[in-house]
């Protein structure tokens, strides 16, 4: 046994490290991925009113969330039209509303 360890110790240690890193990345991949909720703007809704509803899901202020919405949806104006769709970045487990559907951004 001692002879096997001396001869293959480097390979055994490398295998254990590789296995550990592989398991780490497998179980932590979803926490870093960009996830979105797509909503449809209703009559009377504004970026501010939508931000008030969803800012808590990312733990940011309403004003910060307005900026996030503008960036993620490439909005150059603050006026929204009824029926327009917006992507809202948020953890998927925060929403269970059947009117909304989820997408994951891929690169």
Return the higher-pLDDT residue of 16 and 4: 16
For the 33-104 domain, the top CATH level (class) is alpha beta
3-state per-residue secondary structure call for the chain:
CHHHHHHHHHHHHHHHHHHHHHHHHHHHHHHHCCEEEEEECCCCCCHHHHHHHHHHHHCCCHHHHHHHHHHHCCCCCCCCCCCCEEEEECCHHHCCCCCCEEEECCC
pLDDT at 52 over 80: yes
Domain boundaries, the chain: 1-32, 33-104
> Whole-model pTM above 0.85?
no
Residue 103 pLDDT level (bands cut at 50, 70, 90): low
């Amino acid at each position: 046994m001692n002879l096997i360890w001396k001869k293959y110790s480097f390979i055994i240690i490398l295998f254990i490290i590789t296995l550990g890193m592989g398991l780490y990345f497998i179980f932590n991949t979803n926490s870093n991925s960009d996830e979105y909720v797509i909503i449809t703007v209703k009559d009377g809704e504004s970026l501010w009113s939508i931000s008030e509803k969803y800012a808590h899901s990312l733990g940011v202020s309403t004003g910060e969330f307005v900026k996030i919405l503008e960036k993620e949806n490439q909005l150059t104006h603050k006026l929204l039209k009824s029926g327009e769709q917006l992507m809202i970045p948020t953890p998927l487990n925060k929403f269970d509303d059947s009117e909304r559907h989820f997408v994951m951004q891929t690169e």
